[in-house]
Every structure is written in structure tokens, then in C-alpha cells.
Chains A and B, each alone.
Chain A
């Protein structure tokens, strides 16, 4: 079944969002009759030069001063007539923060539900087969998305690789599409400015050893236990989102989609269940040791050593053993 696919690409700094390239690679693998990449912005200059891949058939540039900064109203007002006119059978986009804000609403406007944060998309005979996580990664759900009109799917960053896109020398054909936004008076939101990280980032990207705590640490006074383990290993203490939301540790040491992405030699996860948003930030670690009471915790699916048990029982024993080992080295 060969169908036309739109990938709505997102800009990030000077280039494309890495998730957008992953989605282009996925779209190419679905063997569409035509793959069109849509980019929105104020002035898109030669953005097509960043899309010189064999998978990309054409590029649609939607340029308007009101698209200088993202807003759901301007994106929907631009994309709805475009999709109506071109009638792609599938709209794919990276499940970025921006997509979380407008992609459900875009699908809604076409009488559809977005299937969001997909980890697998396949081309079935009369439907798209899409898989996404449920219950915070503890289960997977399979959907059939009928290829009846336009279907909308957003894809979890990191679920596919953008590495295998085949570069070509010529840029794809470009179509300019005029967004009907007048001077933006119909927009109900107003961009004021961007501000950087609210508290200082702890540099975790260079850390060789990270000991990360999750909700299972239960109370801030228990952090000292995790710190002792980190000290034994010459490691850095970090946390998952709930711990930072509680104010037990600063957001600057948060790992995951809304925090930092790390790839240490050793990652010890204490009381972290492993929601997708956390895993995306640490699955590049060479060795993962996880301690959790719940045998079905998603973190165990990617752990090299899964310690099923109470961290308050296990970690003190481990710290004791490590301190003993150190002493032996000194006295030897």
C-alpha cells in the first residue's frame, strides 16, 4: 500500500530538530508514494539544503512573520488549509514539546485522534499499525489507524534513528505556501520572550558515573544515602523529574526529556521506575544498574543488572562493601 506522507519538521536553533530527521527516516522506510517535508517559520532561507536525502521528494515552505515564534493558533491556521489542499494520507511528526502542544488539536480539526508518542509505525494493508506506551512505559498498546482521509501520528524521539538517511547532492523541489494569517490579530497568544534554564545546570554530560534517584527515595533526608554511594564511586548525584518537582533536588540535575541527556560508563538508578521521559535521557549509558521494588518497572527492561528489592535495604549493604573494598586497596 503506497501512500503520500507529510512530515512536519521542526526547527531547533539553526537546524532541524533531531527528532524530525528520525521521523523523515521512518517515513522513507514506509515507502510512501510521495514524501513531503513541511517546514514553518518566518524566513526559512535555504532550509531545503538540510533536507538533501533520497527519501525526501519535496519540501513545502510555509513562511510568514507570525511564524517567527511558535504559536498553536498560527500553526493550526497555516497547516489546516495546507493539509486540506494536499490531502496526505499520513501526517507524521516528532513527539516534541511543540508537537505535544498543537498536534492533538490539528488531528482534532480533521475529526481524528492523534496517536501520540509512537515507538513503532508500520504500513499494513489497509491501515497504519502503530504502537505506543501506556501506564508510564509498563505496557505497550497496538493501534490500527485507518488510512481513511488523513491519519496523524507523532513519534517518540529516539524511537527511530536518523543515521541511515541517504544523502543526495541535489536539494528537493521546493513549494512556497502562503499562510493566511493577515497580520496576526486573530492569534490569541502573544510571545514575550525566551528565558534559559532557571537554575544552574549541574554538568552531568561529562560524568563517568551517575547515581540517579527517583520517587522511590521517598524523602529528601534519604538523599544522603544515595550521595554516599555516589561518593564511593567518584560519581555525581542526579535525579528523575518527580524528585526535582518535589524540590528535593534542583532541576539543574534532572535527567530525561525535560532535563539532560547523559551517557556515562555507569548509571545507577535508585527507585526510578523508568518512564519513557526518563529513559530517553539515560539509555545511552554503557552499563545500567537499577534498584527497584517493582519487578515490572520499565527501567529493568534496559538494565544490565536489575536488583529487585528495597533500596533502603540494598544500598547500605552495597556502600558497606564498597567502603570495605577501598580500605583493602589502601592497606594492600
Chain B
């Protein structure tokens, strides 16, 4: 099976950030980057499928030159080859237009299966799987927690609210949004890292079709860091007064000493 896995590079989890001058994005120079966590599950699922059935995993990432880092890492974890779609400001493009750009690349590859993580840790739109499916004319399912390849279709489990799961089948080719926790993503082995050096990373520039400038009526005005909504006390955990403060709070809530 030919599996395409789309991964995104995002700022490192919990790393502090500052906003850029028009307050439309963060200052990229201030932060370090890593692969979007949800996408690691999509990659692992793709690699597991080709290990069981044969085929290849084509890894795709869209962004500036630095995203080559997450492609190399993915190749070391078992992807077969990679495509870097060069774009400087992909984060300024609204999800529907971004799906069109990515669909153009994917149509050339004509994969049997496209896997993505459910949501990015930066913009968090969580729209790429359904949008990409429509742009490619394929079926989709999201929040997927189990994938079992069958004959011309896949058996899936997906998560619904309230702890419920749906068992379903989907015809191939299709696009899946993979829910985190579906598998245990592997670490890159030394052997994997050595093998990755021989694997190809193709670099391409999307044709300037003007798709990116079509905002579909949606325009970002500003990003800001919200102020506290509850007037709680802030204490420094390294200060011994912090324990006293929390003890006072606990005593008040639980009336500890009267127990």
C-alpha cells in the first residue's frame, strides 16, 4: 500500500513565545521547533501498515527550510521518502486554501491512504483531514483510534464523545485523521538514522496559483495572550511561602484540621 503521511513542524511544547509586530503570528526566531505531537501517531500508523503489508510511506511537510528537520526524523522512524513543499508563511493561509495546495502535491503521488494527525499544536484548526479529502475527492474519517487494512477497504474504530467508539468501514483510497494514543510512536533507532541518510527528500515549490491569497472571507485580525479571568493567587513554587499558601487554601476548602 502506498501511504502518504502529512506532518507539521510546530513550536516546541510549552516553550515560551512572543508575538510578532502585527500580532498575526509568533516570532519564529525566538522559539525551537519539533514535530507536531499528533502527527507522530499518524507516522507510526503508516509505518506499521507498510511493515505488515509492504509498500511505502511518503512523508510530506509544508513550510520553510527548517521543516526538513522533521522530515529527516520521520525518515529515521521508518518513512520511505519525503517531500518538502517549500512555503514561508503557510500559517497565514486559511485551512481550505492550504488543503488545495497540499491536494495538488498529493494528487501527483496518488496514494491509497493519506494519514494526518488530528490537530496541530499551534493553530489547532484540526481541519486538514476533512478538507484534504474533499479537495482530492476522497472519503475521510477523523478521530480514528484503530486501522485494520482489508480488501479494498479499511476497518476502523473511531472515538465519539462520552467514551464511545464507532466501528466502521471506509473504502480506499481515503484520508484519515488519526487520534493521538492510537499506538506507541517509536523512537528513531541508530540503524534507522543511518538508513535515513540514504533516503530521498524531494523539495518542491508549489505553483503560485493564487490559491493561498483566497481567504474564503476569513481574515485573522490579531493574536493576543489573554489576561487571567479568575483572580487567583500566584505563588512562586520555589519559595517556602508557597506551601503555606496552598496549605491555607486546603484548610479553607477541606477544613483539614477539624477532621
Contact = CB atoms under 8 A, between A and B. Distances in A.
Contacts of A1: none
A268 to B, nearest CB: 9
Given A96-B161, A287-B253, A289-B246, A140 B216 contact: no
B133 to A, nearest CB: 7
A257 B223 contact: no
Interface string A256-281: 01110000011000000100000000
A134 interface: yes
Contacts of A192: 155, 166-169
Interface string A233-270: 10000000110110100010000011100000110000
Interface stretch (B46-54, B60-68, B232-240): B232-240
A273 B15 CA distance: 11
Interface stretch (B104-112, B119-127, B191-199): B119-127
B125 to A, nearest CB: 6
Contacts of B21: none
Contact of A306 (B160, B233, B254): B233
Interface string A103-118: 1110111011111110
Interface residues of B, number: 86
B131 A314 contact: no
Interface string B93-116: 011110100000000000000000
Contacts of A34: none
Contacts of B96: 104, 107-108, 111-113
A309 B166 contact: no
B170 to A, nearest CB: 5
Given A72-B130, A113-B127, A305-B246, A193 B166 contact: yes
B243 interface: yes
Interface in A79-119: 96-98, 100-105, 107-109, 111-117
B149 to A, nearest CB: 15
Contacts of A98: 160
Interface string B128-145: 001101110001111100
B209 interface: no
B226 to A, nearest CB: 5
Contacts of B204: none
B163 A196 contact: yes
Contacts of B253: 265-266, 286-287
A44 interface: no
A136 interface: yes
A301 B215 CA distance: 32
A198 interface: yes
A interface, over-half SS: mixed
A305 B169 contact: no
A303 B143 contact: no
Contacts of B135: 108
A195 interface: yes
A139 B220 contact: no
Contacts of A257: 161
A322 interface: yes
Interface residues of A, number: 97
Contacts of A328: 257
Q: By CB atoms of chain A within 10 A, which of B26, B159, B160, B240 has the most?
A: B160
B221 interface: yes
Contacts of A135: 11, 17, 26, 121-122, 124
Given A258-B159, A287-B253, A291-B237, A105 B169 contact: no
Interface in A131-147: 133-136, 138-146
A309 B238 CA distance: 6
Contact of B235 (A197, A287, A307): A307
Given A193-B167, A266-B250, A307 B237 contact: yes
A201 interface: yes
B232 to A, nearest CB: 5
A57 B78 CA distance: 56
A164 interface: no
A231 interface: no
Interface of A: 12, 69, 72-73, 96-98, 100-105, 107-109, 111-117, 133-136, 138-146, 148-149, 151, 188-198, 201, 209, 215, 233, 241-242, 244-245, 247, 251, 257-259, 265-266, 273, 286-289, 291, 293-297, 300-311, 313-314, 317-318, 321-322, 325, 328-329
27 contacts: A12-B161, A97-B161, A101-B143, A104-B126, A105-B131, A105-B140, A108-B99, A112-B217, A113-B94, A134-B122, A139-B19, A139-B223, A145-B218, A149-B217, A189-B139, A196-B163, A196-B164, A287-B253, A291-B237, A301-B226, A301-B230, A302-B230, A302-B232, A304-B230, A308-B234, A309-B238, A318-B243
9 shortest interchain CB distances as A-B pairs: A309-B237, A245-B181, A188-B139, A197-B163, A104-B127, A146-B217, A113-B94, A105-B130, A192-B167
